[in-house]
């Protein structure tokens, strides 16, 4: 493990330099890693572990997702099974179904969590709010987590490029005395960039806050507000979209990713710098109360209950698809579709 300075605060992180792939193989020798669910995180984690030489099987019910697993090289009856059979065969059972799916299959999976096995998560939702989800693991199994800070698609893509997504990790229950070693080995196995320690509670709370905040909810709300103001003041859809979304995602975000916000500012015009520096505190002060409200709503379980209630409705998928359709067909994102077609890589310029 290495001590690193993050903005003046020292944290312990783990990389493949401190915990090698060879060591991960030693720790997981003789283990069968059963990945349950092949939707969002399942494919990236299962395929990365397989490519790194670990003994992996997949548990997935039949349907389109099952067919995707077959197309990815998982063999029915050999490395691809029903959720229940995979849970029975696995010594490390990876619950990578959706949060709602984990609740639905828990009673079917729990009997196969026998003494000494590990129950692995990539999100703390089901365990942290187990008074609401009903997911209470047996006392004689390890309960562990590696949570990639990115989608399963990004995890797989970056792995193929020789890079890794940063991940948090946590041990909720150490029944065997080797829970942390198992956790770190799995993190290295899926191709983590670096691993930083957390708890199930902190991961679940920060994750739901981030999804509803700057990563998804807040950014869409900000896009909509600026786009609508520009359109209402007579700017064209193309101009409003380029100034709101396109320039941010295609030009500025890569600069921020490379070296930080100050470096991005330094590579913009002096007029842009002055305006950004003046207005950033105003946005911070306006948004922070909403962010605090959001955090408390997550912390007290309100957001978890909303998710559980909505996801358990029989017509949930239809309502979700309708909400996504409305977003997709809004003027702003229809404009975005046209703008993307006009990018140089998509046609002659």
SS3 of residue 291 by DSSP: helix
Active-site choice (25, 123, 233, 319): 123
Strands 118-121 and 142-148: parallel
Which single residue is written with the structure tokens 């797989």? 156
Is 25 one of the catalytic residues?
no
For residues 32 and 198, give the distance between their C-alpha atoms in angstroms, rounded to a whole number. Answer: 25
Q: Which residue pairs from 105-109 have beta carbons closer than 8 angstroms and sit at least 24 positions apart in sequence?
A: 105/36, 106/133, 106/134, 106/135, 108/83, 108/84, 109/36, 109/83, 109/84
Q: Which residues pair with 93 in a beta bridge?
A: 34, 119
Listing DSSP states for 244-268 in one string gives IIIHIIIIIHHHHHHH-HHHHHHTS
Question: Are 95 and 84 contacting, i.e. CB atoms less than 8 angstroms apart?
Answer: no
* Residue linked to tokens 């003041």: 233
CA 34 to CA 58: how far, in whole Å? Answer: 6
Q: Residues 6 or more apart from 301 whose CB is under 8 A from it? A: 129, 131, 132
Q: What is the 3-state secondary structure (H, E, C) of 175-211?
A: CCCCHHHHHHHHHHHCCCCCEEECCHHHHHHHHHHHH
Give the residue from 40, 99, 61 showing the smallest Cα distance to 310. Answer: 99
Residues 6+ apart with CB under 8 A from 147: 121, 122, 123, 124, 167, 168, 169, 170, 198, 203, 207
Question: Got the DSSP string for 49-106?
Answer: HHHTT--EEEE--SSHHHHHHHHTTPPBTTTEE-HHHHHHH-SEEEE-S-HHHHHHHH
The catalytic residues are 123
């Amino acid at each position: 493990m290495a001590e690193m300075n993050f903005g003046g605060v020292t944290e312990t992180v783990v990389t493949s330099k401190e915990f090698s792939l060879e060591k991960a193989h030693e720790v997981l020798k003789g283990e069968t890693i059963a990945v349950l669910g092949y939707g969002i995180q399942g494919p990236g984690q299962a395929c990365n572990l397989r490519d790194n030489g670990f003994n992996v099987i997949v548990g997935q019910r039949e349907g389109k997702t099952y067919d995707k697993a077959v197309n990815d090289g998982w063999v029915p009856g050999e490395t691809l099974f029903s959720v229940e059979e995979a849970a029975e065969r696995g010594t490390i059972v990876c619950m990578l179904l959706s949060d709602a799916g984990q609740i639905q299959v828990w009673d079917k999976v729990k009997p196969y969590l026998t003494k000494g096995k590990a129950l692995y998560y990539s999100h703390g939702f089901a365990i942290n709010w187990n008074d609401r989800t009903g997911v209470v693991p047996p006392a004689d199994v390890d309960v562990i987590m590696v949570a990639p800070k990115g989608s399963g698609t990004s995890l797989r893509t970056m792995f193929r490029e020789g890079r890794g997504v940063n991940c948090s990790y946590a041990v909720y229950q150490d029944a065997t005395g080797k829970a942390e070693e198992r956790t770190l080995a799995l993190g290295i196995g899926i191709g983590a960039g670096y691993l930083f320690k957390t708890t199930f509670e902190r991961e679940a709370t920060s994750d739901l806050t981030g999804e509803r905040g700057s990563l998804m909810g807040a950014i869409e709300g900000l896009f909509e507000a600026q786009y609508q103001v520009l359109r209402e003041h007579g700017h064209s859809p193309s101009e409003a979209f380029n100034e709101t979304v396109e320039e941010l995602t295609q030009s500025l975000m890569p600069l921020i990713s490379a070296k930080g916000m100050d470096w991005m500012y330094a590579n913009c015009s002096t007029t842009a710098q002055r305006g950004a520096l003046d207005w950033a505190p105003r946005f911070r002060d306006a948004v922070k109360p909403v962010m605090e409200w959001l955090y408390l709503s997550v912390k007290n379980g309100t957001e978890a209950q909303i998710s559980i209630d909505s996801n358990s409705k029989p017509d949930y998928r239809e309502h979700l698809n309708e909400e996504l359709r409305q977003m997709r067909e809004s003027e702003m994102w229809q404009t975005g579709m046209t703008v993307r077609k006009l990018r140089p890589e998509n046609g002659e310029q």
